[in-house]
Amino acid sequence: MNQTAVKLHSKIRSKKATVAVVGMGYVGLPVVMAFIKKGFKGIGVDLDLGRITKLRQGRSYVEDVPSSEVARAIRSKRFWPTESYEDLGEADIIIICVPTPLNRVKDPDLSFILRAAEEIRNCLRPGQLIILESTTYPGTTEEVVLPALERSGLKVGKDFFLCFSPERIDPGNKQFPFTKIPKVVGGVTAECTRLAASIYGQIIKQIIPVTSARTAEMTKLLENTFRIVNIGLVNELAQVAHALEINIWEAIEAASTKPFGYMPFFPGPGIGGHCIGIDPIYLSWKARLVGHEIDFIELARRINARMPRFVTEQAGHLLNERSRKAVKGSRILVLGVSYKKDVGDVRESPALEVLEHLKELGAKISYHDPYVPELKNEHYQLRSEPLTPANLKKKDLVIVTTGHSKVNYAQVARHAPLVFDTRNVKTSAFNSKNVVRL
C-alpha cells in the first residue's frame, strides 16, 4: 500500500474525509446525506440551480430524504450544496451519480459521465478516490472515465483511485433503504477496491468486493436484465391469459406457493424508470460491439413497450361492453402517473403513454397522483385532480396505473362507475363488480 492510499485510509477511518457527490437526484442526495449522518462533511454538486437553491434552504425534493434532515445538515455546516465543480478540489472522495439516458437512436448517452469526468480532472489532486455509481455498460469506468482523469498527468492506483459501485437505491422502499442494501465495489486496481470498500463500509454493513470495475458494471446490468426479461414474460402471459379468460393474478398467486424454483413477477401497464427500461439496453448495445446479440433483452423490451397500448385497447373494450360508450368523448381518469408507487418520478412511466394513446383516441383525459401535481409535455398540460366522490362519479372510467399508499381505493371503487385495475390493488373493495383487473 503506497503512502497516498495510507493517508486516505486514515482520513476515512477518522471521518475527516470530505465526500462529494456529483448529481443531486434520487440516487445522489440520499448517498451524500447518508455520509453526513455518519459524521462526514459532504458536498453536493448539481448544475440545476433550482435544486441547489432548495437544498441551501433546507428543502428536499426526494421522497426518501426528509427536509428536516437536509435542514439539519445545512445548519451544522456539514453539507455544502453547489452548482460549481470547482468545489470538488476540497473533496477526498468524489462519487458520480449523474444520468445515463439513451439518445435519439436508443444508444447509450454518456455525455453526463464524460462531462463530470472532465470537470473532476480539472481539480484532480493526489489522494482522491473517484467512484462512478451511474449505471452504464461494462468497460465505461476504464474506457471513458479513466482516460479522462489520467489526462491530468496523475496515475490511477498511485496518485488517485478509481472504482465502480452500482447504485441499488429503490426510491420509496421503506424496507430496504440505501444503507441496508449490500454494496458491490470493483476498482481499477486492488487498492482502488479496498479504498472504496473502506468508505462505503462507514455507512453500509455488507460490502461485496469484486475483482474489477467491469464485473461491478456487469452486476448492475445483470440484476436489471433479469427483471426486464421476467416482467416481459409475465406481461405476455397476461395478454394470453386474458384471451383464454384466465385470471393471471390468481395463477401467479398459486404458482407462488411453490417453495423453490419460482419467483413471482407481476404484469402491469408497462415498465418505467431508468433501471428496467433503460439499463438492459446498455448491456445489449455493448454486446453488439463484441459480436453478440442478446435476444431476450430485445424481445422483452418489445413486449413491455406494447403494454401501454394493450391497456388502452382493453380500456376501450371495457367502456364499450360495460357502458356502451366509445373512448372518444369519454371522461377517463388515470390514477397514478409515476413509474412506481409512492414516488414522484415519472421517467419512462407507462402511464404517460396511456394518457397519450387515450388523447389520440379522443378521450377527455385527466389524472390523479398525490406525488405528481402537474404534467406538462408536447401532447398535454394537466394538473392532478382531487379524488372526491363528486369528481369520481363524473368519470366514465378510472384506470389504475400506479398503486400509491396515499390513495383511498375503497372510495374509488365506491364512487367511480367503472374501474380498470392494471396493478392488482390489494383491497377488498376492489372485488366489486365495477372493478375489472388486467
User: Residue 320: its pLDDT value, please?
Assistant: 95
> Does 247 have pLDDT greater than 90?
yes
User: Residue 102: its pLDDT value, please?
Assistant: 86
User: Residue 69: its pLDDT value, please?
Assistant: 96
Task: For 100, list phi and psi in degrees, rounded to 5.
Answer: -130, 75
User: Residue 401: its pLDDT value, please?
Assistant: 95
Active site includes 97?
Answer: no
User: Residue 105: its pLDDT value, please?
Assistant: 77
For residue 174, the Cα-to-chain-centroid distance in whole angstroms is 15
Share above pLDDT 70 across residues of the chain, in percent, rounded to a whole number? 100
Residue found under cell 424454483: 261
User: Residue 415: its pLDDT value, please?
Assistant: 95
Q: What is the C-alpha separation between 355 and 320, in angstroms, rounded? A: 18
User: Residue 278: its pLDDT value, please?
Assistant: 85
User: Residue 174: its pLDDT value, please?
Assistant: 83
> Does 431 have pLDDT greater than 90?
no
User: Residue 426: its pLDDT value, please?
Assistant: 83
Q: What are the pLDDT digits (tens) for 168-226? A: 988 888 888 889 999 999 999 999 999 999 999 999 999 999 999 999 999 999 999 99
Q: How large is the average pLDDT for residues 393-408?
A: 94
Task: Select which of 97, 163, 192, 275 is catalytic.
Answer: 275
Q: What is the C-alpha separation between 394 and 197, in angstroms, rounded? A: 57
DSSP H helices, 244-333, are 248-255, 279-289, 295-318
User: Residue 272: its pLDDT value, please?
Assistant: 86
**Domains with residue ranges and CATH for the chain:** 3-211 (3.40.50.720), 231-437 (3.40.50.720)
Q: What is the C-alpha separation between 367 and 383, in angstroms, rounded? A: 7
